[in-house]
Amino acid sequence: MTRLNQIVAVEKGIKSRSFQELTDAHHALQKAGLLSGISRTYRPKDEEGEQLPPESTKVQVKAEETIRATAEILTRLFDVTATKDWANCTAKADVRVDGETLLEAVPVSYLLFLEKQLVDMLTFIRKLPVLDAAETWEYDASADCWATEPVQTVRTKKIPRNHVKAEATEKHPAQVEVYYEDVTVGYWKTVKFSGAMPAKRINELVERVEKLQQAVKFAREEANNTEITQQKLGTKVFGYLFA
């Protein structure tokens, strides 16, 4: 009994060969010289005349024969494709993750769709923004995002001060130098917020996608192992077309 994976394995090669042979047949039919033949014999006017050998060119391509050959070539392709498509209507498998059935009786075509989508999903998840590992983060329900612990910093202001370098005398005024001193005038309390995600959470999501990817591949292999019934539709199609 033939299985679906065997048909899928040979379909591409049959399709490629059929296309090439059909192309070759089409090109041959466009060459008038291959379709034409001739036969000429020479008879001199009298017995003393020069004798010349006969000339002939055979017909190398016959349209009706090409049609029959083309029908034979394409019949195999039509039958293989029909067998695959009919089998795809019945070939199904469950998707199981960690021993639990996530999806039941999934058709092969949808399993193929899932495989592609999960590749894109994995790329999406791996590019999610990650919280800065240099900070300590806690989830802030009121802000609905992640936040750091408050950090207090000092706000200072430069206050001018006078430094007397020399006291005043009867003859000279005091020599005073102005300098600035940093004086604490207040305190900043800073909390950082972020809409990014913890690396642990992203790793968990990646692991879940990869598990599902593996489960879908197993299901596809199981579905492709389904026994199938050979379909013979090509003969009917070309029997009608070229009757």
Give me the residue spans of the domains in the chain. Answer: 1-91+228-243, 150-190
Q: Residue 214 is inside which H or E element, if any?
A: helix 199-224
pLDDT of residue 1: 63
Structure-block tokens of residue 238:
């070309």
pLDDT of residue 2: 72
* CB-CB contact of 61 with 28 (8 Å): yes
Q: Where is mean pLDDT largest: 25-39, 132-146, 229-243?
A: 132-146
Q: Is 52 exposed, middle or buried (0-12, 13-18, 19+ CB in 10 A)?
A: exposed
Structure-block tokens of residue 202:
């992203």
The residue-averaged pLDDT of 86-103 equals 92
* CB-CB contact of 184 with 156 (8 Å): yes
E strands, the chain, where? 38-40, 55-57, 92-97, 100-107, 137-140, 145-148, 151-166, 175-190, 193-194
Q: What is the mean pLDDT of the chain?
A: 89
pLDDT of residue 97: 95
Q: Pairing relation of β-strands 145-148 and 137-140?
A: antiparallel
**Looking at the predicted structure, is the pLDDT value of residue 139 above 80?**
yes
Q: Give the DSSP per-residue string, 133-146.
A: TTS-EEEETTTTEE
Task: Report the distance separating Cα 118 and Cα 103, nearest Å.
Answer: 15
Question: Of 16, 209, 223, nearest to 115 (Cα)?
Answer: 209
The pLDDT confidence band at residue 65, using thresholds 50, 70 and 90, is confident
pLDDT of residue 204: 97
218: which DSSP letter? Answer: H
Task: List the strands of the sheet with 193-194, edge to edge.
Answer: 137-140, 145-148, 193-194
The pLDDT confidence band at residue 9, using thresholds 50, 70 and 90, is confident
pLDDT of residue 238: 87
- Phi first, then psi: what are they for 172, rounded to 5°? -130, 140
